[in-house]
Amino acid sequence: MKSKIKKIMSFIFIFAVLGGFAIFLAYLSSASLETAADEQVYESELKADEKQGYVKVLENDRLRLFFDPALVLLKIEDKESGSVWFSNPEKPENDKIAFGQNKSLIKSLLDVTYIDEQGSPYTVNSFMGSVSEKTYSCEIREDGVFIDFSFDDQGLEIPCFFTLSDDRFVARILSEDIKQHSKLKISKISLLPFFGAGGLDDDGYMMVPDGSGAIIKFNNDKQTYQPYIQPVYGKNLAVNLNTNLIKEQNATMPVFGIKKNDDAFLAVITKGEYQSELRADVSRKMTSNNTVYSSVVYIQSESNTLMAGSGDEETATMQSPQNTEGIYEVSYFFLQKNAGYTQMAARYRDYLAVEKGMKKQSEPQKTALIDFLGGIKVQKTFLGVPYRAVEPLTTFAEAGNILTDLQDSGVESLLGTMTFSAKNGTESKLPVKQTFEGKLGGKNGYKNMMSLLDKNDIGFYLINDPIYMKKSGAGYTGINAIRNVTRSEAVSYNYKLTTGKKDTSLPKSRIISSVYVPKIVTGLTNSCLRNNMDRLGLSSIGCVNYSDYRKKSISANKTGEYLESALNSADRVDHLLFEGAFAYSFPYADVITKAPVSSSRYDIEDMDIPFYEMVVSGYSSLYSDCVNLSGDEDCLLLRLAAFGVRPAFLVMSKEQSILQNTDYRKYYAASYSDNKEFILNTVSLFNKLDITAGKTITDFEWISEDLSMTTYDDGLVVLVNFSDKDTECCGITVKAKDFEVKEGTN
């Protein structure tokens, strides 16, 4: 009995042990499944990350930089905003619009244009020509990523470097280290053509610096129009231009930007901007992406007419010498959440102030500027013998009298300038020193005028042009002028409004080689200081871009260095004025005239914005081109009010009949007697904007197609109504074709 009981107890024990073991196994199995599930998720994430292949390269207080060495892609994380930016669209294989080479271009960091011995252009992108062929090398360094793209079929090697600096991602093409092993030559490289690109489902826009600035909206159904393409700082003056029928604005700043959903960045070309080009295009044309980017141009092409005037006339395309010196660099500044073009402007303004020395304006903006015509050179005869002599349109004494007359008539806040004031007027020599045309009153006449104006607190600038050589002399002749691609003399012509062709009947100018510009400007500046002149006006030097294609060529970038050196010398004068200033002259400008207040209005563009004015306002006083020569004065004045620019007027004391049978008939509407009432009425209208003088524009918005709102740094708001009907906004009524100021509105 005891034996049976023992056996039963033994079986019970065994079953209990087995049951416990089974429970334990079940627990282990359950835990194992849970662990496996966790591991599966982790492995899935790991595989996805491995598929992208991103490796963290660099991190600072604001940003993280990642690199995919297999596909050669870049990713930047903004730790502050949480935004993530990709060098290329994430899933290019899903793009149903892109085919062929465009499919591979979406995956590329570079798009390269090169030419053969005959000058015929070809393109290859970095994915198709290097990454897919595995002919590239990359190196992750302590300070960034180095990539050497080798295009074996073309015999080309292009080294690049990518890094971080504070709030910016920096992309560089190491141009000086480019290698070309064949007879093919690189003419242009587009850098990061798809960085931050917006897709079909994204909301946003691209900002381009066309004139005052323009917006191109994502997916705007304008894929049938030409893309936006502009050289930074305008066309290279050393490149021959046969026709110029279309009146365009210039790309005034080396910047562009993207607003994508809630995120935005501003890109600034921080090195090599004088040889750069901007391009923007919308989706549904070649790909599903909206893109804006920059290119560096190493070879310029120009068209020349051979055997002109003969029955065998032909057009030939010729290329300039290649220039790959230095580094091409673009810095991408990442902005806070919900930022837009106003924040882009603010970031660029800070960049110019901190890194380029742009200073707050030293005196308040005046209500209006009066630009006087001095002396013009005309054909005369004496005893039947023809000769050329200066015809005074406004003497110094007359200019002083006109300004004080306007002041006595109620125009309290005025600024004056004079064009063609130097010896020989319109045909003056290069200004190696400040001269004064005798028929305008000479040096003593100028001093007497300034004595009168100083008593009345009216500033005055004499305008000098150190770039265009209208006449040999002062130590400079045609030998010192620039050469075009064919190494013939590059000449600046006027163009006929009807045909766009060169008007050879009008005076033409040579362009001085940039190597001489610092010496010319230094001499002029020294002369001003000796004459106790604290104001200097400069035309052309602040808004030109050119090379010199003589045997020892001077690149556009080198010209930029010479121009900036000259401006630094001129900065010894207390107040500097520039006409139509580009960004490289912003740090030196106290006054900017002919400020752009529109874009070129290309078909692809959707909206004009005062990006230029938002950057410069509060740092320089801004004045328009001459209002009285405008074809639509009312519309221009409203735009000036919206953009924070003051009106300028071109004036001469003589009547318009004096210009008949001269080369200067275009100034027919400049007579003071004909313009006085218009000037007084305009200034009366703009007096209410004096409260904005010296303030910075911090926001701008088109409330509707016909109503704009400009906000200044103290909360002051200017509302402009472009329509034919009164409208209400911000609790006030704005009359038709008028503007109103509202203080303290946020």
Q: What angle do CA 523, 524, 527 make, to 5 degrees?
A: 85
155-178 tens-digit pLDDT = 999 999 999 999 999 999 999 999
Does residue 244 register a pLDDT over 90? Answer: no
Predicted pLDDT of residue 19: 46
Residue ranges of alpha helices (H) inside 506-648 are 517-530, 556-570, 611-616, 633-643
SS3 502: strand
pLDDT band at 38 (very low <50, low <70, confident <90, very high): very low
Radius of gyration of the chain (CA): 32
511-559 tens-digit pLDDT = 999 999 999 999 999 999 999 999 999 999 999 999 999 989 999 999 9
The CA distances from residue 581 to 521, 537, 576, in Å, are 17, 12, 11
State the residue for tokens 């290097």: 130
Predicted pLDDT of residue 304: 65
Cα–Cα distance, 515 to 547 (Å, whole number):
10
Q: Are 60 and 163 in contact (CB under 8 A)?
A: no
Q: What is the mean predicted confidence (pLDDT) over 669-678?
A: 96
Predicted pLDDT of residue 505: 57
Cα–Cα distance, 69 to 78 (Å, whole number):
21
Cα–Cα distance, 493 to 168 (Å, whole number):
42
pLDDT band at 243 (very low <50, low <70, confident <90, very high): low
pLDDT band at 497 (very low <50, low <70, confident <90, very high): low
Residue ranges of alpha helices (H) inside 269-308 are none
122-161 tens-digit pLDDT = 999 999 999 999 999 999 999 999 999 999 999 999 999 9
Predicted pLDDT of residue 34: 37
φ/ψ of 299, rounded to 5, equals -130, 130
307-318 tens-digit pLDDT = 555 555 566 678
Predicted pLDDT of residue 53: 86
